[in-house]
Structure 1
């Protein structure tokens, strides 16, 4: 039976290598026992697929139509049909990867641990270009170009057909970056990139800066304490783009004018997700928080997942869905954060924020398991 977001609604009625570490010190707080899984939203596993192990790769699962793009640490790149879990194509770049991936359906781009940007066309590595530094944010492929933000804050544009460098702009002043996905996306004819605590809009044809929106300010006495990188994934509704600044705040900006609409203090290390009603995210201590999309007022928070390492969420119908480093997938009610279901994978940890494609919830684990779930 077909699955639509509407069916979700009805059924639920319902770096330097700095990571987003949630706990420090010798003793890690223990999470609460969640008890039995009382199912309030029936969900079944529809299919499974595999890629290589993700390990410590900075993975962003990319969705384009019915296709999910996934990469593995050792260099495997796969385009998977989300309807049945079958490969559309599968390729290898021959080197371990550090970040992936972006695609426009013609060119798919990943970054290797040797600082190479690799363009894949027709399921084969078609070109390679050396970057000025490593890159932990997935490349953006749009308008027949590949855009990359390197760890030295260099933003570059390449021809998606042959890898020719079109332009490059470097921003100085921020010595550290996070080894996890940041913000790099298109909004209309504007290229948006997170540069430390600022969202910067660029003219995609030449890299000239159009505007900057300060989402967070550097604080602290050393470089680590002053880290305020913007994190992906983000969420967009019309011209409004919402995101998180690492361990500092969440907020929204008018991407047409470059105007900050609101910010709220929040201590999180993964991105956010939302819709026209609310914005949701997991704090570093495992508390799941929801804010009003329009003005940032807090709507609800859930503490029962406290002290668990959670991914950025996915909003699907009336559900808020988050992965955990145990491999568990938590399905919460969008209305109040109450429990709807818990799904199990292979126990290796969910590697990236869950995504939806072809009416299927897709989850990727650190061991390289790719799971497709649908409601009964």
Structure 2
């Protein structure tokens, strides 16, 4: 889950005993009250183009942006494809089960996972096939190369034939006894399936599941299971062969997925993923400080305390600035140069359910209440 409130952070034991954890409870005193932001000058225009309703989002939603369309879903199983430029529905389907993960899409086929541990694929508003999974999943399936890949919470990776649903292979790696109820990392880089397994990125052969390489972003440390938790969290950022990710409450790092080698890692205490461009990687800390790193070597370019003590969403780096929101429903645009505040607007609703995405010339944001908004940043 691209969480925007500490109460959304949930740990799940592999025996499926749920454990709730608020960050404030793990770090001592409650979070200080943030300083009021008064009179923000509009240095970059941000316009609302359209709005739509989806339904409450109470699971780790990932919005799939492909071309001029976005695929998204509600917690109660409403799956929809919208035209990103206008907000109009292309199609909508109500499944008969609530969801635990989704949406993955290659632009044609969509995939979600239900709370009953069932993988469901859809196309053109119709269910194609369903398959039972051996464990829960909180990561959106990856649809790529005529296959559907699933990362389950017991750190198994499964591959299915996209047309028939036939299971092709399974790969499992042992890990720590606690995992996040939060979207993990899974993507295709050329002919390699890149997956986050505990604090490591692993490159798998997509045809067989054989692990080609592993690269550590963070190493488990500490004296108890919570302190040792270093799962990699969505969203990630990819430019060319280099994938940059966050390890939960530990670090930010980049890995060359072609060579399977780490490029750099830097300490960074936060729970949400990262975003970037060809020159920088941006990450929000748990205390509301926003950091920017040089993409090539990890050197700190800037950090800003303008939003300190706010509970922030994962960022989205745009050509006009860094877009992110707090859990009070304010959306912010920060300067790429120094993190200065360029604009803020009030959304209808509270915290974002997932990181903003870009499609069809619009920046699409989804609140936990299910309000979907398309934004223009001219």
TM-score range for the pair, normalised by the shorter chain length: over 0.9
2:201 pairs with 1:174: no
Deviations 1:273-331 (A, max 9, x none): 11111110100111000011111111111112111111111011030011221121110
Distance 1:249 1:147 in 2: 26
- State whether residues 240 and 253 of structure 1, in contact with CA within 8 Å, keep that contact through their aligned partners in structure 2: yes
Could you state the TM-score of these two structures normalised by the residue count of structure 2?
0.93
Question: 1:3 — aligned with what?
Answer: none
1:1-376 equivalences under 5 Å are: 15-16=11-12, 21-24=22-25, 27-55=30-58, 57-375=59-377
Change over 3 Å in CA distance of 1:262–1:18 after alignment to 2: farther
Post-superposition shift, 1:26?
6.2
- State whether residues 22 and 269 of structure 1, in contact with CA within 8 Å, keep that contact through their aligned partners in structure 2: no
Distance 1:320 1:307 in 2: 18
Post-superposition shift, 1:347?
2.6
Distance 1:43 1:281 in 2: 21
Task: Tell me whether 92-101 or 185-194 shows the greater mean CA deviation.
Answer: 92-101
Post-superposition shift, 1:106?
2.2
Q: How many residues align?
A: 361
Gaps of 5+ in 1: 1-14
Distance 2:96 2:122 in 1: 12
3-state SS of 1:59 partner: coil
Distance 1:295 1:19 in 2: 36
Could you state the TM-score of these two structures normalised by the residue count of structure 1?
0.93
- State whether residues 281 and 313 of structure 1, in contact with CA within 8 Å, keep that contact through their aligned partners in structure 2: yes
Post-superposition shift, 1:22?
3.8
Question: 2:7 — aligned with what?
Answer: none
Distance 2:324 2:240 in 1: 24
Gaps of 5+ in 2: 1-10, 13-17
Distance 1:285 1:256 in 2: 34
Task: Tell me whether 248-257 or 156-165 shows the greater mean CA deviation.
Answer: 156-165
CA RMSD of aligned residues (A): 1.4
Distance 2:313 2:64 in 1: 15
Distance 1:360 1:19 in 2: 35
Distance 2:29 2:338 in 1: 34
Post-superposition shift, 1:173?
3.2
Change over 3 Å in CA distance of 1:30–1:251 after alignment to 2: same
Question: 1:11 — aligned with what?
Answer: none
- State whether residues 315 and 321 of structure 1, in contact with CA within 8 Å, keep that contact through their aligned partners in structure 2: yes
3-state SS of 2:178 partner: coil
- State whether residues 61 and 101 of structure 2, in contact with CA within 8 Å, keep that contact through their aligned partners in structure 1: yes
Post-superposition shift, 1:160?
1.5
Question: 1:6 — aligned with what?
Answer: none
Distance 2:357 2:123 in 1: 23
Post-superposition shift, 1:233?
1.0
Deviations 1:5-27 (A, max 9, x none): xxxxxxxxxx4056785422563
3-state SS of 2:180 partner: coil
Deviations 1:67-89 (A, max 9, x none): 11111000000111001000111
3-state SS of 1:23 partner: helix
- State whether residues 311 and 352 of structure 1, in contact with CA within 8 Å, keep that contact through their aligned partners in structure 2: yes
